[in-house]
Amino acid sequence: MSETRDQILKNVKRVLIKIGSAVLTGSEGLDREIIQHLVDQIAALTRKGVQIVMVTSGAIASGKHRLGITTPLKSIPQKQAAAAIGQGRLMRIYSNAFAKHGIYVGQILLTMSDLTDRRRFLNIRNTLSSLMDWGVIAIINENDTVAIDEIKFGDNDNLASMIANIIEAHLVINLTSTPGLFDRNPTTSKDAKLIPLVREITEEIEAAASEEGTSVGTGGMKSKVMAAKKVTAFGIPYIIAPGKEKDVLLRIFDGNELGTLFLPMSEHLNSRKYWIAFTLRSRGALGIDNGAKCAIVEEGKSLLPSGIVTVEGDFVVGDPVTCIDREGVPLAKGLVNYTAEDIRKIMGLKTSRIEQVLGHKDYDEVIHRDNLAVIRRSRKQREKN
């Protein structure tokens, strides 16, 4: 067992396991044997005292197979209808598989708008926490039948990264149809090598991950690496592993070098800042100068009007807005204390002039540091790795 894996797995008591459609489905639709095998392993881990929450795909693929459709579904309503058929089936198979171990399951279907609303976000957290206390396995999927573009997570890799934040998981395991992350696309390069450990998600790592999903799943390796980036920014380790491999979960917990392990960032966001950074959709952008960049990224300070050079978008007080540097690189995301219209009037000015220009001054800061999540790593953090 490698020392790094050993260190990480030692303290894992709450895990989020994401299972992709390509793992769960075969030529005959949902593959009961694979599902039972995964469930047997989850049950074994549960008996050892590990709390597990699952995010699982497979509804659309299952519905499609049920209808005997072999060609890709073209329209969104068709996919949504297939999910309506497949979701119940997916749950029934899981429920029967867990029943063999005397374990109950609970279904949770979510859209993005359930998580951007802070109150609903907290309600979901309470529900998940009660299910975990009762030893019930929560099985989560996107509410495909109602989700349209604006309220979609996009794919279950992204949904799983949000849930990891909600349950404050100690580890995320993303089970997929490939052995892990390769240094280049293994389907096109025969000599591609598996990367067992990623200390930091650099541009090279992002470039190594290809875009394409499988014929049944939505996210490709790219979406898994983007999800790993979010999860590790919250201080949670992330493993991409081959879901069809025998005893994959048990072997991971035994410390076997399976798949790719992404190490968590040493300095990471708290739950609320993670929610601001990765769950809320940005309503605009504030271009900031180098002084402000240094103050917020390196020193953890608030954003003042004096450091702002451009304002994009039309947002109101409390909206999430991205701070970008002069090259347009996103640095941070935060909730603004002033409207876009007001910021256009006070940008570049000292705080002492706010009242004079606007006729009121509710805050010194345009974004207070408590509401500002830095997404660009500081020099100190970069040097540590």
**Which of the residues 219 through 238 are near ligand GLU (CB under 6 A)?**
219
Query: Should residue 156 be labelled a site residue for ligand GLU when binding is judged by CB under 6 A?
Result: yes
The one segment of 59-67, 183-191, 224-232, 308-316 that binds ligand GLU by CB under 6 A:
59-67
Query: Should residue 58 be labelled a site residue for ligand GLU when binding is judged by CB under 6 A?
Result: yes
The site string for ligand GLU over 83-112 (x = CB under 6 A, - otherwise) reads: x-----------------------------
> Minimum CB separation from ligand GLU for residue 217, in Å?
4
> Minimum CB separation from ligand GLU for residue 367, in Å?
33
- Burial degree of 345 (CB within 10 A; 0-12, 13-18, 19+): middle
The one segment of 54-62, 162-170, 296-304, 310-318 that binds ligand GLU by CB under 6 A:
54-62
Are the C-beta atoms of 368 and 318 separated by less than 8 Å? Answer: no
Alpha-carbon dihedral 6, 12, 15, 18, rounded to 10 degrees = -10
Which residue in the set 15, 16, 59, 160 belongs to the binding site for ligand GLU (CB under 6 A)? 59
Which residue in the set 176, 218, 232, 282 belongs to the binding site for ligand GLU (CB under 6 A)? 218
Judged by DSSP in three states, 277 sits in: helix
Which residue in the set 25, 41, 51, 57 belongs to the binding site for ligand GLU (CB under 6 A)? 57
Which segments within 289-342 are labelled E, that is strand? Answer: 308-313, 320-324, 330-335
Are the C-beta atoms of 119 and 59 separated by less than 8 Å? Answer: no
- Burial degree of 278 (CB within 10 A; 0-12, 13-18, 19+): buried
Query: Should residue 21 be labelled a site residue for ligand GLU when binding is judged by CB under 6 A?
Result: yes
Q: How many residues bind ligand GLU (CB under 6 A)?
A: 15
Query: Should residue 23 be labelled a site residue for ligand GLU when binding is judged by CB under 6 A?
Result: no
Query: Should residue 217 be labelled a site residue for ligand GLU when binding is judged by CB under 6 A?
Result: yes
Q: What is the 3-state secondary structure (H, E, C) of 166-205?
A: HHCCCEEEEEECCCCCECCCCCCCCCCCECCEECCCCHHH
Query: Should residue 141 be labelled a site residue for ligand GLU when binding is judged by CB under 6 A?
Result: yes
Residue 289: other Cβ atoms inside 10 A: 16
Beta bridge partners of 54: 17, 139
Is the Cβ of residue 79 or residue 273 nearer to ligand GLU in the bound state? 79
Which residue in the set 15, 23, 38, 60 belongs to the binding site for ligand GLU (CB under 6 A)? 60
Q: Can you tell me the distance from the alpha carbon of 267 to that of 270, in angstroms, rounded to the nearest whole number?
A: 10
> Minimum CB separation from ligand GLU for residue 55, in Å?
9
Which segments within 84-189 are labelled E, that is strand? Answer: 105-110, 137-142, 171-176
Query: Should residue 305 be labelled a site residue for ligand GLU when binding is judged by CB under 6 A?
Result: no
> Minimum CB separation from ligand GLU for residue 222, in Å?
12
Query: Should residue 243 be labelled a site residue for ligand GLU when binding is judged by CB under 6 A?
Result: no
Query: Should residue 160 be labelled a site residue for ligand GLU when binding is judged by CB under 6 A?
Result: no
- Those residues with Cβ within 8 angstroms of residue 338's Cβ, 6 or more apart along the chain or in another chain: 317, 346, 358, 362, 363, 366
Query: Should residue 29 be labelled a site residue for ligand GLU when binding is judged by CB under 6 A?
Result: no
Contact positions vs ligand GLU (CB under 6 A): 21, 57-61, 83, 141-142, 144, 155-156, 217-219
